Structure 1
Amino acid sequence: MGFGQHQTFYLRQHWLTKGLTEVNKNSRFFYEPAHFEVLGVGKNMAKSIRHWLKATRLIEEQRTTMTEIAMTNLGRVVFQFDPYIKTRYTLYILHYLLVTERNEASTWYWFFNVFNERVFTKQILIEELEQWVKENFEKVVSVNSLKRDVECLLQLYTEKEYRDKTPEDVIKSPFETLNLVNQTRSANFIKSEKDYYLIENVLYIALLIYSEKHRVKEVSLNDLVNGAELWGKVFNLNRDTIIEYLLEVQKRYPVIFTRTNRLDVIRIDTETLWLDEMKAAYENEVFKL
């Protein structure tokens, strides 16, 4: 399980780029005594940068004669085509990867795949998360650690107020632009179901990742709406919106949506690997900024 590994720091703009740049030059970078000085941050922030790179699957530990941290194949593709993480396309895919690994970023997995409330307070999140942890993990996790996770998650996804702020005060998360979580004028938060643009290729990539990970070629419409690691949960989409997207996705990609009286089934009719499809999408510029 993975709780509290962010050192209380949510992901900042340019952190992924900084980390990938240094790892590209030196696979032992994060083991160098002065690595945090090179990054221009404190020691705990440097640990946080390393965590976010790993949680988004851009880097991985490799053990040979000594432990190294290298870019994953995904990291190399992103570093080649979108090194400054400027596109929402890249961010959507990194979001998908972040929230679908139960044991890497457990609170993030729970929030998007298990927690069903659309409108909630921070206190509700903490209480519900605490209950889920007790029911699903043998190891005890402190309430303070869960509180820090909840605070970090909300800071990562919720747009912050920047008006009348100096540049030094603007600490933006790149995931804000996805508009997946909003704060109301009261103390409530809401999982957004509207006013954001999803790229059909992102949804197709998500299907390919799910297919490869779980070794399946078919999913039901109900699973796509309500199942963990699929469109409805990960991207806050309702059933009607998912059907609209499905009709568009099957026009462009080898996805077959069969509607019957008893069972609506989506079949992934390809052997293409998701990373190959993602690379092709970058090369053909199928995304928008």
Structure 2
Amino acid sequence: MGFGQHQTFYLRQQWITKGLTEIKKNPRFFYEPEHFEILGVGKNMAKSIRHWLNVTQLIEEKRSIKTEFVMTDLAKVIFQYDPYIKTRYTLYILHYLLVTEKNEASTWYWFFNVFNERVFSKQMLVEKLKNWVEENFEKEVSLNSLKRDVDCLIQLYTAKEYINQTPEDVIKSPFESLGLIHQTIGTNFVKSETHYSLISNVLYITLLRYSEKHNIKEVSLNDLINGEELWGKVFNLNRDAIIEQLEEVQKHYPVIFTRTNRLDVIRLNTDSSWLNEIKVAYKNEVFK
């Protein structure tokens, strides 16, 4: 399980680019004594940068004579086509990888895959998260750690108020642009459905990823709506939106949606890997 490893810092706009740039030059970068000075941050913030690169599956640890961090194949593709992480296409893929990483980003996994309330407060999240942790993990997790996770999650996804602030004061998270969490009245928040015009491309890629991870070629419509690591949960999509997107996905990708009286089934009719399809999407600039 993974709780509180972000050092209380949510992901910042330039961190991915900075971190990957240095790791590409030196796989031992995060073990160098001056690495945090090169990044221009404090020691704890440097640990946070390494954490976010890890939980978005952009770096992986390699052990040989000395331990190194290297770019994953996904990171190499992103670094080639979208090095400054300017597209929501890239961000939605990173979001999917983050919130399906149960062991390293447990709170994020719980919030998007297990927690079913649409409207909530931070206090509610902490209480529900605490119950889930107690029921699913033997090791105790401190209440303060859970509170920090909840606060970090909200800050990562919720747009912030920048009125009367100088550019130096604006600390933006790239995940704000996904619009998956909004603050409503007072201290309440709401899960919001994604409104990305090219979301069908992302949905296809994530379905491929799910297929490879779990070694399956078919999912039911009910699973797609309610199953963990799938569209309804991860992207806050309801049944009608999912059916609409399925029709769109079918037009462009080898996905077959068979509707019957008893069981609606979605089948992937391809052997192509999700990483290869990401490369094709970048080359064709589907995100523009």
Give the aligned partner of residue 92 of structure 2. Answer: 92
Letter in 1 for 2:177: T
Letter in 2 for 1:217: K
Give the aligned partner of residue 118 of structure 2. Answer: 118
Distance in structure 1 (CA, Å) of the matches to 2:103 and 2:197: 29
Distance in structure 1 (CA, Å) of the matches to 2:258 and 2:117: 30
Give the aligned partner of residue 160 of structure 1. Answer: 160
Matches within 5 A, 1:56-71: 56-71=56-71
Distance in structure 1 (CA, Å) of the matches to 2:30 and 2:203: 33
Secondary structure of 2:159's aligned partner: coil
Q: Note if contact 1:12-1:174 (Cα within 8 Å) is conserved in structure 2.
A: yes
Quote the offset at 1:196 in angstroms.
Answer: 4.3
Give the aligned partner of residue 139 of structure 2. Answer: 139
Give the aligned partner of residue 254 of structure 2. Answer: 254
The superposition leaves residues 234-275 of structure 1 with CA deviations (integer Å, 9 ceiling, x where unpaired) of: 000000000000000011000000000000000011010000
* 1:227 has 2:227 as partner: yes
Give the aligned partner of residue 24 of structure 1. Answer: 24
Give the aligned partner of residue 127 of structure 1. Answer: 127
Q: Note if contact 2:98-2:108 (Cα within 8 Å) is conserved in structure 1.
A: yes
Q: Note if contact 2:198-2:287 (Cα within 8 Å) is conserved in structure 1.
A: no
Aligned length: 288
Query: Aligned-residue CA RMSD in angstroms?
Result: 0.8
Q: Note if contact 2:218-2:266 (Cα within 8 Å) is conserved in structure 1.
A: yes
Give the aligned partner of residue 34 of structure 1. Answer: 34
The superposition leaves residues 114-167 of structure 1 with CA deviations (integer Å, 9 ceiling, x where unpaired) of: 000000000000000000000000000000000000000000000000111111
Letter in 2 for 1:151: D
Secondary structure of 2:263's aligned partner: coil
Distance in structure 1 (CA, Å) of the matches to 2:100 and 2:15: 21
Letter in 1 for 2:141: V
Q: Note if contact 2:2-2:104 (Cα within 8 Å) is conserved in structure 1.
A: yes
Matches within 5 A, 1:179-194: 179-193=179-193
Give the aligned partner of residue 173 of structure 2. Answer: 173
Distance in structure 1 (CA, Å) of the matches to 2:114 and 2:207: 19
Distance in structure 2 (CA, Å) of the matches to 1:218 and 1:138: 33
Letter in 1 for 2:70: A
Distance change >3 Å, CA 198–CA 184, structure 1 → 2: farther
Letter in 2 for 1:114: V
Comparing 91-100 with 183-192, which one deviates more in the overlay? 183-192
Quote the offset at 1:199 in angstroms.
Answer: 2.2
Secondary structure of 1:133's aligned partner: helix
Quote the offset at 1:197 in angstroms.
Answer: 3.6
The TM-score with structure 1 as length reference comes to 0.98
Q: Note if contact 1:126-1:147 (Cα within 8 Å) is conserved in structure 2.
A: yes
Letter in 2 for 1:149: D
Q: Note if contact 1:4-1:149 (Cα within 8 Å) is conserved in structure 2.
A: yes
Give the aligned partner of residue 47 of structure 2. Answer: 47
Letter in 2 for 1:239: R
Give the aligned partner of residue 208 of structure 2. Answer: 208
Q: Note if contact 1:114-1:228 (Cα within 8 Å) is conserved in structure 2.
A: yes
Letter in 1 for 2:128: E
Secondary structure of 1:50's aligned partner: helix
Distance in structure 2 (CA, Å) of the matches to 1:239 and 1:255: 18
Distance in structure 2 (CA, Å) of the matches to 1:246 and 1:163: 40
Distance in structure 1 (CA, Å) of the matches to 2:198 and 2:123: 30
Letter in 2 for 1:229: E
Secondary structure of 1:70's aligned partner: strand
The superposition leaves residues 81-118 of structure 1 with CA deviations (integer Å, 9 ceiling, x where unpaired) of: 10000000000000000000110100000000000000
The superposition leaves residues 180-226 of structure 1 with CA deviations (integer Å, 9 ceiling, x where unpaired) of: 00000321100002644452110000100000000000000000000
Comparing 194-203 with 129-138, which one deviates more in the overlay? 194-203
Q: Note if contact 2:178-2:194 (Cα within 8 Å) is conserved in structure 1.
A: no
Secondary structure of 2:97's aligned partner: helix
The superposition leaves residues 35-70 of structure 1 with CA deviations (integer Å, 9 ceiling, x where unpaired) of: 000000000000000000000000010011110000
